[in-house]
Amino acid sequence: MPRKTIDHAFTSRSLTAAASDPTFAGALSFMRRRFTKNLKGVDTVVWGIPFDAATSNRPGARFGPQAIRRASAIFDNDPQYPFGHNLFEQMAVIDYGDCLLDYGNHHKTPATIEREAARIIAGGAFLLTLGGDHFITWPLLKAHAAKHGPLALVQFDAHQDTWFDDNRRIDHGSFVARAAREGLIDTNRSIQVGIRTHAPEDCGIRMLYGHELEEMTAEQIAQAILQQVGDAPAYLTFDIDCLDPAFAPGTGTPVAGGPSSAKILSVLHRLKGVDVRGADVVEVAPAYDHADITAIAGATVAMYMLGLRAERLSAGT
C-alpha cells in the first residue's frame, strides 16, 4: 500500500492534504480533517455540540456528532460528488472536536455555546456545527449575528420551532420565535422548507410546506430560497427531520410526508448563490437509526455545506 497512511486526523501535516485511511478504520474526525483547537490559517471549522436536553420527544441527539463523523468516513479521499473535486485542495478545514457542556447545569449551556462559537468565528472562520438538538441553533445565531448582523434564516425542517418561549426555557421548539424577537434573524428574508406541522406563530417567515415540495422540482425549491434570501447574509440550519422518516428514521420527532434525501440534496447543490455565513446539521439521534441511514444523510448534508463553501471561495465571493 504505497503512500497509504492512517489516523490522518492526527498524522496529517497539512490542513489541505487528502487522507488515505481505510474507510473502516482510523480516527473518525469529520471527513478525516485534522483534530485541533488551533485556528491559525483555518478557513472552516467543523464543531460538535452533543446536547439533547431540550428535546420534546425522543432523546439521543447528543450522540449525533459521533454518528455523523463516523458516517463521513465514506467520503474520504474521493472527489466529492457532485462537486467533482477534493473540497479541501484550497479550503483549510479542521475538526475542532466537541463543545464541553455541564450536563448538570443546563441553564449554563446557551452561554457556553455562544462564547465558544464567538471565539471560533472571531477570526473569520466559517463555522459548521454538528448537533445536538435544535435548541443549539439559538446561541449559534447569537454568536453569528453579533459578527454579521441580523441573518436570513434558511431552515430545512418539519417543524416551525416558533412555539411560546418565556426567554428562559431550554426548548428545541422555540428557538426561531426567540431569534425573531431578539432581532437575530431578518424574518423578511428568511424561509422554512419542508414544514409538516402547525404552530401558533409564523413570525412572518415564508414557509414551503411538505406537500408543496412534493409538487415542486428541486430547481423550483432552490429558486424560491434564492429569491427570498436575495443578497442578505444567511444562516443555514438543517434539521434532519426535514427528510421523510424513510430517509431519516434516526431522529427525535419524525414526521411522515417529507421529501427524499435525493431531492433535498439537489436543492442544496443549487444554493451557491446564498451568502451563507454559518451552518448546522441537527437532530440526528442514532439510537433510532437503522444501518446508519440517518447518519449518512446528516454527513452528506454537512459535506454539501462544505461544498457550497468551497465553491464560493473558488469564485472569490
Flag whether 21 is marked binding.
no
Determine whether 84 is exposed, middle or buried from the number of CB atoms within 10 Å of its CB (0-12, 13-18, 19+): exposed
Q: With CA atoms as reference, report the closest residue to 256 among 238, 243, 265.
A: 243
Could you count the other beta carbons within 10 Å of the beta carbon of residue 115? Answer: 13
Q: What are residue 46's DSSP bridge partners?
A: 95, 128
Flag whether 98 is marked binding.
no
Flag whether 202 is marked binding.
no
Q: What is the DSSP string of 11-42?
A: H-S-TTPPP---TTSS---GGGPEE-S--TT-
Flag whether 161 is marked binding.
yes
Flag whether 275 is marked binding.
no
* CA-to-CA separations, 33 to 71, 79, 109, 286, in angstroms, rounded: 14, 15, 26, 22
Cα atoms in the 13 Å half-sphere on the side-chain side of 89: 12
Flag whether 241 is marked binding.
yes
Could you count the other beta carbons within 10 Å of the beta carbon of residue 66? Answer: 17
Residues annotated within the binding site are 134, 157, 159, 161, 239, 241
Residues annotated within the binding site for Mn(2+) are 134, 157, 159, 161, 239, 241
